[in-house]
Structure 1
Amino acid sequence: MKKLRGLIVLPAILLAGCILIDACSPAGKAVADNKADNAGRVLTGAEQTEKYLPYLQGKRVGILANPTTVIGKKHLVDSLMNRGINIVKVFGPEHGFRGKASAGAKVQDETDSATGIPIISLYGPKRKPSAADLADVDIMIFDVQDVGCRFYTYINVMRDIMESCAENKKELMILDRPNPNGYLVDGPILDMRFKSGIGQFPIPITHGMTIGEFAQMINGQKWMANNLQCNLKIIPLANYRHDMPYTLPVAPSPNLNTQQSVMLYPALCLFEGTIISQGRGTYTPFAVLGAPALKGQYDYSFTPRSIAGMAETPLHMDEACYGLNLLNYDINEMRRSGRINLQWMIELYKAYPIKEKFFDRSYSKQMGDINKLAGTDLFQQQIKEGKTADEIRASWEPGLSEYKKMRLQYLLYP
């Protein structure tokens, strides 16, 4: 990929049926202007209002938003309305527009009490806007914070929004945000036999892309129904690199409520397919690991409780869980290694006294499917066979290397 005076020159596959960043548009100019201040702080697409507000004037705007959709401490919807932008409806993903729903809880359509705008839920009876939903919309905006993992489902939501926009000939503006795990490209490529709500694309566990870059990949790889192409306008980040540390200003979801949990999520979410609690039902989810059966093998313990808005019926509720405290784990360790930590999974499987329960969902309705989380049925077998982390990682090739090469053609940032 080459850059010439603000124009992003992209492979031909990306240009068919898709408008990306216009060379003469505010977004295109931003790519060139942002080079001038490499020492400046990262600016999200939403923060660079001068790049897109003129384009929205006079248009009827729909927006996919949640509590991470902010400019500073103010929600983007409130900010745009105060600036005279005509927002006709909001679409809410998992947890809802204002983030009041628990993980996995169905969300109903409603009217936003703060603005009076209709809110269409995309985490209830339907998962993408209908033709009727978009009939009075001239342009859609997507602005939600992602964390760079295949099983973090906002990339699925974005694909569905793109598909609806393509079907109904609506333009989609993406206000890009940093990927806090953008440095990390690792994990097995999803075997599409295990395609599910937590794995929709043939990508590794951590894809190493921003949401704007991933949208380009969806278009370029033709991952929408009937090879549809979405007309995209991306407002890029300023002063961003994939390898830079980035602390999220807003928790991306109720159970990723600290920077520690966000950085540990690529490794610890795999435990949702096991009998081991990842701390749901505590105020430190995705930063601790444990189970009642590990009593006597570990000194550290925690007790999951029912917490409204976070975990109403967590695994091992009201039972003391013994295991690993990762609250003070050096989260830069994975950054230095460039790899997902597999040692915790290996260690806790070896330590667990009842091996047949470790991955078996029949023992707990709160457990997820490890094959769907890992994207392959080989991972579970490798852990059971006592394979080392290096042996497991070797089995991810050549798929992982092929993905890394493919990814390069869609990047907007170094």
Structure 2
Amino acid sequence: MGFKVFKNTVLLFVVIVISCASKTKNDISSNDEILKQVLNDSSIIVGANQTEAYLPLLKGRRVGVVANQTSIVTRSLNKVLEPEIIVDTSYHLVDFLNNDKSLNIIKVFAPEHGFRGNADAGEHVKDGIDTKTQLPIFSLHGKHKKPTKEQLEDLDIMVFDIQDVGVRFYTYISTLHYVMEACAENNVPLLILDRPNPNGNYIDGPTLEKEFSSFLGKHPIPLVHGMTIGEYANMINGEGWLTNGIKCEITVIELENYTHKSSYSLPVRPSPNLPNDQSILLYPSLGLFEGTNINAGRGTEFQFQRYGAPFLDSTYYKFSYMPKANFGSKYPKHKGKICYGNDLSNVNVERGFTLKYVIDAYNNSIDKTKFFNTENFSKHAGTAKLQQQIEAGKTEKEIRKTWEKDLKDYDKMREQYLIYNR
């Protein structure tokens, strides 16, 4: 293999310019912007690019891989000479590992949205065969969300490499839980290739209450958890959250040149409906609309950058749009209907969580009985109290006060598991 480890965001140039698979109308499009992004993030080296650290751990072992479209290994950045960037190439992790004849890749496990990342949110992902590598793929978002004993019996080690965005109801951390639990039960060590958390500079939101535990949130953490996948795995082990308190043997290939204050632009959309930085920064706040009857941009090219519904007040909201079936959303809410709401695609958004959009939409609903999908909203919020507080007319400041103690307690607990500086 013998090539140099190099910087992750070179891939932003490769993927956006060369591959149309992840391109949307509101993705970064100009070469100047791409160059700026590459240079801004070029110091961070993700776990997957540190091949010298983990390839020796895989040689001579039967390997399983938990991966999706974000599992990318980049080759080498030869040099940067303005205005030219010389780049070799990039690989999907599974393709990269499978091409190394000294390694024995046995099978792949796919989370929500699938191995190559083209399934709708919540859509069952089917088992199958990867047409490129001919490796068997086992779904972790269908009949089985946890690898079975039979699926692990011919493995010596499992690799986990998935990009998270730092929000409790983003299901990749639930997949991490189940993979760790299955590996622990079957004595299979887990190798985690860490990646930055683009919302990793803060913690916020209500803490999950036990009775609302689901695949949308399994652990008593705030809505925005402020950890990388590697750090979160440490917490799962340390807090005894796996069944019967069992521990998974984990090795984390740590990030280089990353702190929780680092800004990070994802080179590949982490799921079909998070197309760009704007959507990822807004996702913690607009993701709560998933538990309501409000459309959060699904069925448009501006997912999680707008929201609306036919029953929002058209005299208050001057912006309107019509959701249509598209990539990543075959059946968007209010498909084919005019939705009145708010466009945030060009708003200057800081990294942070706010209730102002949900509260504003609720207050300006013509028919408030249509607003909440109560069971689903409580699962997203992690508590029934948030809906009750919004319906009671509480302000965001009043609601936030009810989270203060839980956030302080969580922050203290989180501190012992952090790998990177705050």
**TM-score interval (norm. to shorter):** 0.7 to 0.9
The one-letter code matched in structure 1 to 2:95 is D
Residue 142 of structure 1: SS of its match in structure 2? strand
Is contact 2:119–2:272 with CA below 8 Å preserved after alignment?
A: no
The one-letter code matched in structure 2 to 1:265 is Y
Residue 187 of structure 1: SS of its match in structure 2? strand
Q: How does 1:13-412 map to 2 (within 5 A)?
A: 41-72=43-74, 73-84=90-101, 85-293=103-311, 294-307=313-326, 309-332=327-350, 335=351, 339-360=352-373, 369-412=376-419
What is the CA–CA distance in structure 2 between the aligned matches of 1:80 and 1:248, rounded to whole Å? 22
How many residues were matched structurally?
364
Is contact 2:118–2:328 with CA below 8 Å preserved after alignment?
A: no
Is contact 1:65–1:143 with CA below 8 Å preserved after alignment?
A: yes
Instruction: Find the counterpart in structure 2 of residue 18 from structure 1.
Output: none
What is the CA–CA distance in structure 2 between the aligned matches of 1:279 and 1:265, rounded to whole Å? 11
Bigger shift: residues 207-216 or 385-394: 385-394
Residue 46 of structure 1: SS of its match in structure 2? helix
Deviation track 1:177-236 (CA, whole Å, cap 9, x = no partner) reads: 000000120011101111112111100000000000000000000000011100001100
Bigger shift: residues 142-151 or 370-379: 370-379
The one-letter code matched in structure 2 to 1:343 is K
Is contact 1:95–1:101 with CA below 8 Å preserved after alignment?
A: yes
Query: How big is the shift at 1:82?
Result: 2.1
The one-letter code matched in structure 2 to 1:351 is N
Residue 250 of structure 1: SS of its match in structure 2? coil
Q: 1:40 to 1:103 in 2, by over 3 A?
A: closer
Residue 63 of structure 2: SS of its match in structure 1? strand
Deviation track 1:302-327 (CA, whole Å, cap 9, x = no partner) reads: 110112x4111111110111111100
What is the CA–CA distance in structure 1 between the aligned matches of 2:118 and 2:371, rounded to whole Å? 32
Is contact 2:309–2:338 with CA below 8 Å preserved after alignment?
A: yes
What is the CA–CA distance in structure 1 between the aligned matches of 2:349 and 2:262, rounded to whole Å? 13
What is the CA–CA distance in structure 1 between the aligned matches of 2:373 and 2:63, rounded to whole Å? 46
Query: How big is the shift at 1:70?
Result: 0.5
TM-score by length of 1: 0.86
Is contact 1:40–1:239 with CA below 8 Å preserved after alignment?
A: no
The one-letter code matched in structure 1 to 2:380 is L
Query: How big is the shift at 1:40?
Result: 6.3
Residue 56 of structure 2: SS of its match in structure 1? helix
Percent identity for Structure 1 against Structure 2? 50
Which residues of structure 1 form unaligned runs of 5+?
1-38, 362-367
What is the CA–CA distance in structure 1 between the aligned matches of 2:150 and 2:213, rounded to whole Å? 29
Deviation track 1:380-403 (CA, whole Å, cap 9, x = no partner) reads: 111112211111000113111100
Deviation track 1:307-357 (CA, whole Å, cap 9, x = no partner) reads: 2x411111111011111110011122xx3xxx4111111211111111222
Deviation track 1:106-144 (CA, whole Å, cap 9, x = no partner) reads: 122111110111111111211111121111111000000
Query: How big is the shift at 1:53?
Result: 0.9
What is the CA–CA distance in structure 2 between the aligned matches of 1:295 and 1:113, rounded to whole Å? 48
TM-score by length of 2: 0.84
